[in-house]
Structure 1
């Protein structure tokens, strides 16, 4: 089974499981997430591999991390994720990409990401649920962090934190590769 097939199967199984645990009907999850009922059915039947944006919307609506939706096996208290098992969520032909390194559901979903943005590229994010906090540390280049329409230059060696409940984006407006580590804390669904 290819990595993409495994990812599609894991997402299908975990989406059904978490939707069931939350007691959400297909219509309820569609309304909470903004993802169509038909798309949710296709994902749960492993007939499609959704975009990162769709996956984020579903995870946010369920109150779980993306790592939880994509996790193909549950581990013991200590869970190590080898580099080859990190999940590439987004990439471009020029070489930009994001990697979901690890995540947990303890005290609300928490995710750790590795980002690489090539010059002139970027990625936008829809608002997350109220209470979501993102922390980042730029290790190379100068990131342009755009939060609620306002750009903030973040040079290598600089860390930042912001509330992710507004539109936000990560851009490389420079000429050097931008690399950063980011953690996302999502409040649990009540």
Structure 2
């Protein structure tokens, strides 16, 4: 019997994590995509139509032979009506998890100029997510609306950016923050000459 709470520390490199190896995240995404698709009784052809992706792309992702980019995962999550992180989740969450930068596997946009790194355990369902976003100079990343009730809270860690929300354009400098409804199309633009780093807290009403 212990005299206090016991904290089980797990590195993000452990097998239970999506960061266990170079192909681990692709395998997790493949399993989750297939599970959600079959749970909703969808064929690959039907999901391709709903998400605007080709059947070949979805088949490759579901087969674990390719890592999906951010753009594709967003459209699939929206079509399946599940939180984005649900496609990355790798099991139940418990105890304490250390997220090592060196062991992380950020997701990238198709052109590689926008990356998103999860700063939370990719396990279980959650209503709040925490990400590090990086935008190369000149990047203009367009995002579709998330499920109804979704909000984004952004902090600019480095650089100068313009965030486009449902109420217009908002220029932010280092240290500035913004909270907005993200269930409508929005965008992140790097307005500076160097890489911009943002920290994003995304909350869902499930």
What TM bracket, shorter-length normalisation?
Answer: 0.7 to 0.9
The residue matched to 1:48 in structure 2 has which SS? coil
Query: Are the structure 2 counterparts of residues 173 and 56 from structure 1 closer, same or farther at C-alpha, using a change threshold of 3 Å?
Result: same
Aligned counterpart, 2:57: 39
Q: CA RMSD in A?
A: 3.0
Aligned residues: 184
Question: Which structure has more helix as a fraction of its residues?
Answer: 1
- Greater Cα radius of gyration, structure 1 or 2: 2
Q: In structure 2, how many angstroms separate the alpha carbons of the residues matched to 1:142 and 1:186?
A: 27
Q: In structure 1, how many angstroms separate the alpha carbons of the residues matched to 2:203 and 2:79?
A: 14
Aligned counterpart, 1:105: 125
Structure 1 length normalisation: TM-score? 0.77
Listed as ranges, the gaps of 5+ residues in structure 2 are: 1-19
Matching of residue 25 in structure 1 with residue 45 in structure 2: no
Contact kept, 8 Å, 2:71 with 2:110, in 1: the verdict is no
**How far apart are residue 122 of structure 1 and its match?**
3.1
Aligned counterpart, 2:24: 6
Matching of residue 53 in structure 1 with residue 68 in structure 2: no
Matching of residue 146 in structure 1 with residue 164 in structure 2: yes
Moved over 6 A (4+): 91-95
Listed as ranges, the gaps of 5+ residues in structure 1 are: none
Aligned counterpart, 2:135: 117
